[in-house]
Chain A
Amino acid sequence: MYSETVMDHFKNPRNVGRIEDADAIGEVGNPVCGDMMTITLKVKDDRIEDIKFETFGCGAAIAVSSMVTEMAKGKTLEEALKISNKSVVEKLEGLPKNKLHCSNLGADALHQAIMDYYERKKGRAGRKKRQREKVEPLEKPEGHCYCPYCDAELPDEAVVCALCGKSTVHRGE
């Protein structure tokens, strides 16, 4: 199902953990859809000196997190902002079609962490959540979900994605 590179990053994830005195934090996802990602940064002279991640999610989500931190480490913030979801998937030698949502979380978390860094530098209190998908509390998730194939936001209990037409219903056996 997964490429060798994905399995390698999944089984031996790089940069796992949380930087305690982090200069920035990026957090995306929610447990309703089964994935949640936190990226912490240490920045020096506008360069990502250290980066760590924590992820609740499937094999793809963990591999994406690992890869995006590898790609961002040592880069300037400007360079890191150019890391796209697509380039992460390419580096991983592809992901199954229904894992697009998971793959998008990686670069989103990174970009959010970088934006958080800029915000903090400007002296604004608090960090801005990801616009499109806010982190929801575990106890009362509002239920925002995304198509696993095309990552379009879907309404509650949608059985078919309106954008790509793929079925979103539990496969079971």
Chain B
Amino acid sequence: MDTIYLDHISATPLHPEVKRAMIDYISHSYGNPVSQHHVGDAALETLEGAREKVAGLINANPEEVIFTSGGTESINHAIKGVALARAEKGKHIVTSNIEHNAVLKSLRMLERMGYRVTSISVDEFGLVDPDDVKKAITDETILVSIMHANNEIGTVEPIAEIGRITRERKVPFHCDAVASTGVIPVDVQEMGVDLLSIAADQFYGPSGVGALYIRPKTEVWPLLDGGMQENSRRGGTHNMVGIVGMGKAAELAREEMPQRMEHVLHLKKAFIDGLGFIDEIIFNGHPTQSLPNLSSISVSYVEGESMMLLLDEEGICISTRSACASGSLRASHVLLSIGRDYAAAQGTLLFSFGMENTVEEVERALETLKKVVATLRNISPLYRKQKGN
């Protein structure tokens, strides 16, 4: 059985050239970039080369980028680091109600420490209204954190407009750009952000490595205290093989972005067109302001995990946002925030496409999905009730 991997939002496969660069590095190199002998110097050179490439992907200066263990660490660092550094200036933080759990839980932790959080509601497409951000900012506000692209519905937020507001109000602005960086253009200057979180495994780099952009003069404390690494902004010996992979992946993402975007958008269109054959499907997210590689759909009357499992039986890998699949009680907060009812939210599937996918694969996935939905609706009491037997 051939694998059809349509779950790039969870983690992309390694780009062959990234894999080569990583294997080459661990085959021939070792050492700690902090060491002052020639082995350490060579590692330092590799480290700084990778940093330049990552900075290039987001139009930053290399010294403004620090390496982390991934998107979650970057986000925790940005939010907790700014909150702690600016605690004396105020304890109010503004965010949206569709942020990733790394943001939500970091903020929940801060709330327990006495910070106050204003969570902005999004519209039915998942868009944040920049005006709402403007209204939410008070003299006590020490941080705004809004994501670039949502990882469950793909909606791309008006970050540049929000950035203009935060600059005017002189409030640091963190943007979780994990789902978007390497997929669509991300430019920290145009977006007007002060901190930006990214992860390598969203653009064909390895998992377990990410980066945080920090604009100079931003007040932020380290999350990991330790050695002098990253100009004392992030302690801990570098994950060199991961960083090498991330550097190569960033370089390739920058070079290949236009072709990649065109390819995945083509696949997404083929997918959406083909879905017309299944009735009662709701599309989640904004029709145009959205990631080109992600399609989020809610299939009425059936539950997500059961669809995911039956698709997997046919070799097709996707993600679901049902509560059952996540080991939680409830449907995703993102889907409820854009107005999906509980049953629809439980039937939500994410198809995310990559450069190695073909139209034939998308067509096979659609055919299989059609069968799976029919099978499960046939045993669904909700479907029967709706159809009146």
Contacts and interface: CB of A to CB of B under 8 A. Distances in A.
Interface of A: 2, 7, 10-11, 13, 16-18, 27, 31-38, 53-62, 98-99, 102, 138-139, 141, 145-148, 154, 158-159, 168-173
Given A36-B381, A145-B330, A11 B313 contact: yes
Contact of B382 (A13, A56, A172): A56
Contact of B151 (A56, A98, A159, A173): A173
A168 B329 contact: yes
5 contacts: A16-B379, A36-B381, A55-B379, A57-B324, A58-B306
Interface string B3-41: 000000110000000000000000000000000000000
Which of B310, B326, B328, B384 neighbours the largest number of chain A CB atoms within 10 Å of its CB?
Answer: B328
Interface in B205-254: none
Given A61-B306, A170-B332, 14 more contacts: A10-B309, A13-B379, A32-B342, A34-B342, A36-B382, A54-B384, A56-B383, A57-B324, A58-B304, A139-B341, A169-B328, A171-B326, A173-B9, A173-B151
A158 B329 contact: yes
Which of A27, A34, A98 neighbours the largest number of chain B CB atoms within 10 Å of its CB?
Answer: A34
B381 A37 contact: yes
Which of B324, B343, B383, B384 neighbours the largest number of chain A CB atoms within 10 Å of its CB?
Answer: B324
Contacts of B138: none
Contacts of A59: 305-306, 309
Interface string B320-363: 00111111111111000000011100100000000000000000
B101 interface: yes
Contacts of B125: none
Contacts of A7: 309
A56 B380 contact: yes
A62 B329 contact: no
B195 interface: no
Which of A2, A38, A99 neighbours the largest number of chain B CB atoms within 10 Å of its CB?
Answer: A38
A172 B342 contact: no
B319 interface: yes
B303 A56 contact: yes
Given A34-B331, A138-B382, A56 B342 contact: no
Nearest to A138: B343
Contact of A170 (B306, B310, B330, B380): B330
A13 B304 CA distance: 17
Contacts of B305: 58-59
B384 A34 contact: no
Contacts of B152: 172
B189 interface: no
Contact of A18 (B101, B325, B384): B384
B201 to A, nearest CB: 10
B259 interface: no
Contacts of B327: 98, 148, 171
A32 B343 CA distance: 7
A54 B375 CA distance: 12
Contacts of B384: 18, 54
A173 B319 contact: yes
B381 A171 contact: no
Nearest to B346: A34
B138 to A, nearest CB: 25
Contact of B306 (A16, A33, A57): A57
Nearest to B179: A173
B301 interface: yes
A10 B382 CA distance: 18
A60 B303 CA distance: 11
B374 to A, nearest CB: 13
A31 B343 contact: yes
A11 B328 CA distance: 23
Contacts of A34: 303, 322-324, 331, 342, 346
A56 B307 CA distance: 11
Nearest to A39: B381
Contacts of B328: 148, 168-171
Contacts of B79: none
B341 A58 contact: no
A98 B326 CA distance: 9
Nearest to B333: A170
Contacts of B326: 170-172
A154 B329 contact: yes
